[in-house]
Structure 1
């Protein structure tokens, strides 16, 4: 390790590789079997799990780009088996939520920025050059393609997929494929759901639910009431209803064609 700086109070697990010219500050915890490349900066308040990969020139735990941040003590937490590629920047939290959270088994591709107080679930793929503003919430098994810009406070639901070069200014419900400009519902994320073990009957049910929401031109309140009355309670049905009810920004629109 050439010219590597490791704070004397940093806690480094077993079998951790640390590359050349990397800086690890005092208040950092790194789990066992994690690999850290050259020129990385892992800053105070960062907690990294086991078996992660942190590639060259990533900057983790940087000060939030938010004027309300007044140097309060906040964190960045990264789960196990997450891969963070080159030049990724992830800011720690502010007084709003106190921490930015990245879950387990995620792939965050090169040059992506994740702002303060964001939450990313497990098994997500965040494409290259994605720009994620503060306090965005991303559910499990989400795929966000490259060059996508995400407005602050946006919600992106579980098992959804967003096409490349998108602009997310409305919430993206679970299980959907979102594309076009403005960003719209263009169908179910059927391929992704099949890969994750969803059976054909469940995929058809989800398509029928979203047909009511997006294609039958009802207002949201009536659509949700019809879904409640037409489909038996299930994890998936309930997740969709709760997501839409909880959306403060409003959800994306249906395909205009």
Structure 2
């Protein structure tokens, strides 16, 4: 079903059964097949392939030569009806590859809203990407990774499978992440080491200066005082009673199984 207001280049191929919303624009040499839904106002520039059980929300911008919803790279995948879901307001740069999930994982790769992906970004199967995330050129995320809101992944940085990246974390360019990164911490290197906190991600919050001081204090206690994580978590539990932002730390630690970077 194609909405009459959609504009589709004549040399693009749209399979029967694809759902295309109002004011969608699809440029030349695109192939849209399978159980694909494209929401209102989304633009696909040219030479892109969207297939599988893929749902793309409203007002996304997808640049040329992208592959979305393609068969994942897990050797156990046997053609099951797994999914890719993309929210709204995302900008996806050239040559991006986002793979569908697996039945061994959650069955879905999920992208949130208002994210910015630059060129040559890869997001593997069963990943969960939050909102307002930025991934720079050639950023690579392996399967089963969770990236919370407002994270930045620098150019040519990579994240190992099953890692969890807390809200507002900053992974500097050309870094390799193999363990979990707490919220608002900055990391660098191969393998990553903590190098401070992400000051920019804390801009604009109410009580901004107080929050900065408290997160610096947590960073100091974890990495310079050598306190056990259990002790730090007890402090966080007290802080979140007054400052709801600290709930993201508890949410992070509750999911962390690979261990936190040191």
Question: Partners of 1:157 and 1:38 in 2: how far apart?
Answer: 34
Question: Partners of 2:247 and 2:148 in 1: how far apart?
Answer: 15
Which of 31, 35, 40 lines up with 1:27 in the alignment? 35
Deviation at 1:51, TM superposition (A): 0.5
Residue 213 of structure 1 contacts residue 224 of structure 1 at CA under 8 Å; is this kept in 2? no
TM-score when normalising by structure 1:
0.93
Which residue in 2 is equivalent to 1:211?
220
Deviation at 1:232, TM superposition (A): 5.8
Which residue in 1 is equivalent to 2:183?
174
Other structure's SS at 1:117 match? coil
Which residue in 1 is equivalent to 2:108?
99
Show CA shifts across 1:36-77 (max 9, x none): 011000112110001101110000000010012111101100
Question: Partners of 1:65 and 1:232 in 2: how far apart?
Answer: 40
Other structure's SS at 2:203 match? helix
Stretches of structure 1 that go unaligned for 5 or more consecutive residues are none
Worse overlay, 111-120 or 233-242: 233-242
Worse overlay, 208-217 or 105-114: 208-217
- Which stretches of structure 1, 4 residues or longer, exceed 4 Å deviation after superposition? 195-198, 226-229
Show CA shifts across 1:104-130 (max 9, x none): 000111111110000000111011101
Show CA shifts across 1:133-160 (max 9, x none): 1010000111111101110001001111
1:19–1:196 CA distance, 2 compared to 1 (3 A): farther
Other structure's SS at 2:216 match? helix
Deviation at 1:226, TM superposition (A): 4.8
1:35–1:159 CA distance, 2 compared to 1 (3 A): same
1:37 matched to 2:45: yes
Other structure's SS at 1:213 match? helix
Mapping of residues 128-139 of structure 1, within 5 Å: 128-139=137-148
1:197–1:55 CA distance, 2 compared to 1 (3 A): farther
Deviation at 1:8, TM superposition (A): 1.4
Which of 69, 72, 78 lines up with 1:64 in the alignment? 72
Show CA shifts across 1:85-104 (max 9, x none): 10000000110211100000
Pairs aligned (count) = 252
1:77–1:227 CA distance, 2 compared to 1 (3 A): closer
Deviation at 1:176, TM superposition (A): 1.1
Stretches of structure 2 that go unaligned for 5 or more consecutive residues are 1-8
Deviation at 1:177, TM superposition (A): 1.3
Question: Partners of 1:183 and 1:235 in 2: how far apart?
Answer: 28
Question: Partners of 2:69 and 2:209 in 1: how far apart?
Answer: 42
Which residue in 1 is equivalent to 2:63?
55
TM-score when normalising by structure 2:
0.91
Deviation at 1:192, TM superposition (A): 2.2
Other structure's SS at 2:194 match? strand
Deviation at 1:239, TM superposition (A): 2.6
1:191 matched to 2:200: yes
Worse overlay, 204-213 or 98-107: 204-213
